[in-house]
Structure 1
């Protein structure tokens, strides 16, 4: 049997040999019905094809059918996919800047703010841009899950209840939070949450509550604690192969900018709607919902304050220069978007998309962005 590396190399060589073709691969490891795929990839691909008069056609591979989660960064760099979603936690050594800001998820847990702020950061911050270049990627846009909560097969109402509980965590700051409150972090992909809860190897899955539906967790979850344990946005929703991006005309890059602005907004509205729908259905089927007690809320606040020094130290160990300044630059963007989004109708996709265009994508030059 050929190794995964050999297979990637063969596919990459094939892709390189047909660089002038109009058909390209778009990769996402979530299922097609997930809000991060059905709009930002399936609908996006159709809109891009229409707007480029068929010059750019993406075939969407979902559910890990083209690239598994840990290989998506390498896969897009090598040309197996021309655009992909990538969860930065899988590659902390390759993406220390992305993981630095991704682990700052407790600074502001508003998913809309974090989606827009992480997008602007990834497109404009020089440390981030250098990191993308070093990995053979052109950053297209970010994302954010809805707030992470605890979905459990046993009641977790309080700080006392969380002691010793086995919590599925997304790694990084989430792992440290579990340890901070006396729980046991378990680092597994989201695709394994169901099995962990079903077999009892997990007590809770910490993730966005749409997972009650999108990962069928409502079958094995009996209670939920609404403590907002950050939200996930490390990596990118759209990362492009550099050779592919540079082969595009400025007009076609502008089409991608326009569609990414729209689906950055659309995804956030759809994700939150999916959460509300999934929670409502699970509650009607008997799931209990608990608010965190004050001791648990205080513990989270203490953790957020203490962990910032750890974020900076870890980033510096991985080679990030001036990590504290990079983090401060990101926090300024978060604060900026907190203000910009305060007066916008959060259910109006068109208004949110226009804000993303005006404040972010219109500031980029499609003739030069990604060509350095």
Structure 2
């Protein structure tokens, strides 16, 4: 390689500047430039070129070369992938730590989509896109303006949810799920329109929920937001040399690892922050609430399979869920001793991204 054909690629994201999303794109850019020997560089467009809702169609139409896609927002376009992201609550059954759950999920889903999900790859192909990996947040907690510890406490509460699996959980707890844009949650909690929001701890400071929160309950509902994906315009991907496609995959391993690392870092920092704040009480969910949640998770597997088979013609839904569940268990073991972002990047690269055939994939 050399710099004779040096090229700048656009990377669109709806993430705010200085957020986990934007910081991880910087790592992607550095990794891509270094791995391609300067052939490829990246210009990031944060909240300017395309919003999160505009990114998939924008990538399809070539308005950007690369983009951050929140797959759960696009049920029609990516149902097979979204079905996998709905299964993150299963990680609670293995008693994983926040670090293990977040690190394992990115490896498990990226590996599964690349190698075992032709239905997923067809979705991207239909949208003129190439899948380059997924990462996820840390596990969901209840961020509230009232104590919620027991089954009696949660009954009737209005809880903002970020996906259908959490909506089903809320309903199974005899509470009311509320669908609301994330930028409206602060006001909802502050004005009492919401009793709680199911969110990860980093979002306490990312969206300033900490200012309108009095109580945080750990241990439920669990599950992570597992749909922070990197996609590329298929025409741009096809125009790259095999060596530069390999560099793109290396940068994709880097961004997936960095997203996971930053979520875990902020999870731990905010966990300490709320312990130290006198105006916030940290609770552990009661045994009965935890047991009911585990019972829900076990039963919801069948619901997910049936829903995607009937609504999205995914004939292999049960088989995919069974395979992916095994993959997540395997990855929890793989990340057991992984502590740093560098170790996670290397693990993702060795186990998943380096094995993608750049002479065949996405072409």
TM-based fold match above 0.5: yes
Residues 308-317 or 143-152, more deviating? 308-317
Q: Output one character per residue of 1:246-289: Cα deviation in whole Å (capped at 9) or x when no partner.
A: 11111111112222223322322221111121232233222110
For residue 245 of structure 1, what is the aligned residue in structure 2?
237
Task: Give the match's secondary structure for 1:31.
Answer: coil
Q: Is the 8 A contact 1:115 1:233 kept in 2?
A: no
Indicate the residue corresponding to 1:27 in structure 2: 12
Q: Distance in 2 between matches of 1:267 and 1:147?
A: 14
Q: Which residue of 2 aligns with 1:122?
A: 113
Task: Give the superposition deviation at 1:61.
Answer: 1.9
Match of residue 312 from structure 2: 318
How many angstroms apart in 2 are the aligned matches of 1:149 and 1:214?
15
Q: Once the 2 structures are TM-superposed, how far is the Cα of residue 53 of structure 1 from its aligned partner?
A: 4.5
Secondary structure class of the residue paired with 1:368: coil
Offset, 1:236: 4.4
Does 2:349 match 1:366? Answer: no
Compute the displacement of 1:155 (Å). 1.3
Which runs of structure 2 are paired with 1:104-119 in the superposition (5 Å)? 104-109=87-92, 110-119=101-110
The 10-residue stretch of structure 1 (139-148 or 188-197) with the greater mean CA deviation from structure 2:
188-197
Structure 2 Cα separation of the partners of residues 81 and 195 of structure 1: 33
Corresponding residue to 2:159 among 145, 163, 167: 167
Distance 2:196 2:48 in 1: 28
For structure 1, which segment, 124-133 or 285-294, has the greater mean C-alpha deviation from structure 2 after superposition? 124-133
Give how far 1:234 is off: 4.2
Name 2:73's counterpart in structure 1. Answer: 90
Aligned CA RMSD, in angstroms, stands at: 1.8
1:60 aligned onto 2:41 = no
CA shift for structure 1 position 348: 2.1
- In structure 1, the residue matched to 2:149 is 157
Preserved CA contact (<8 Å) 1:170 1:187: yes
Q: Residue 144 of structure 1 contacts residue 231 of structure 1 at CA under 8 Å; is this kept in 2?
A: no
Q: TM-score, normalised by structure 1?
A: 0.88
CA contact (8 A) 1:114 1:233 kept: no
Deviating above 4 A after TM superposition, structure 1's stretches of 4 or more consecutive aligned residues are none
Deviation (angstroms), 1:54: 4.2
Contact 1:212–1:282 under 8 Å retained in 2: no
Counterpart residue number, 1:299: 292
1:142–1:233: 8 Å Cα contact kept in structure 2? no
Offset of residue 138 of structure 1: 0.6
The match for 2:301 is 308
Flag structure 1 segments of 5+ consecutive residues without an equivalent.
1-19
SS in 2 for 1:354: helix
CA-to-partner distance for each residue in 1:338-359, whole Å, 9 max, x for gaps? 22223x23x2222222221111
Q: CA deviation at 1:173?
A: 0.6
